[in-house]
Amino acid sequence: MGTTMKHIKVIFVLAAVLGLSACQSKVQYGDATEVETVNENFGSTDLQAISAKMVDSMLTFPPIVVMTQKERPIMFVDKIKNKTSEHIDTESITDTISTKLLRSGKFRFIDMTKVDAVRKQLDYQNNAGMVDPSTAIRFGRQIGAQYMLYGNLSSIVKEAGSDKDVYYKMTMRLMDLETGLIEWSDEKEIRKAKSKSFLGL
């Protein structure tokens, strides 16, 4: 009887260990460029598709090609307005686009998100009395941007029964700050459809 109880206890412990092992989650790396279809919300594939379309469009637009032949225009990227009902990190979109444009060697950028940090540093160098004046960077020496890149992200969502259709539209424009003229503009449309099964999944 004692031996049987010992066997039962051993079996129980082994079953518990195996059960815990089976419940443990597994993490593995995936392809960052692989199409992501977890749900119908805005995702990494949409971000990549938008940034690729906008960068390719701008770099191949004839007036932009001419503009960048002899110089690297200076621009800043304004925050994209999120007009969707979702919480979308639009800064990730502008970061990807500006990085691709900068790496093309055709443009230079001013990072407007760091203006306050730069102002504090220049104030420290010039007014704190702790920096050698001969090495301090003076105020008023920065180069101004010539162009502003900005855009809107909007969506239309429709549902009928178990079906859901989500339409996204990204619009971007490049403005000449001196004249106010729009030098380039383009759109990227994305449509995603979701149908629930009879199990409601």
Centroid of chain to Cα 50: 10
pLDDT at residue 141, as a whole number: 82
Sign for the pseudo-dihedral over CA of 8, 11, 15, 17: positive
Confidence grade of residue 128 (pLDDT, cut at 50, 70, 90): confident
Phi and psi, residue 80, nearest 5° = -70, 135
Please report whether residue 33 resides in a domain.
Answer: no
Contact by Cβ (8 Å): 44, 32: yes
Higher pLDDT, 161 or 2: 161
pTM over 0.95: no
CA distance 99 to 110: 12
Domain coverage including residue 56: 41-110+145-195
pLDDT (mean) for 23-41: 63
Count the domains in the chain. 1
CATH number at residue 62: 3.40.50
Provide the token pair at 15: 């079953």
Count Cβ atoms below 10 Å from residue 109 Cβ, excluding itself.
18
Residue 141 parent element (H or E): none
pLDDT higher than 70, residue 10: no
CA distance 18 to 98: 50
pLDDT in tens, 39-52: 566 777 888 899 99
Please report whether residue 67 resides in a domain.
Answer: yes
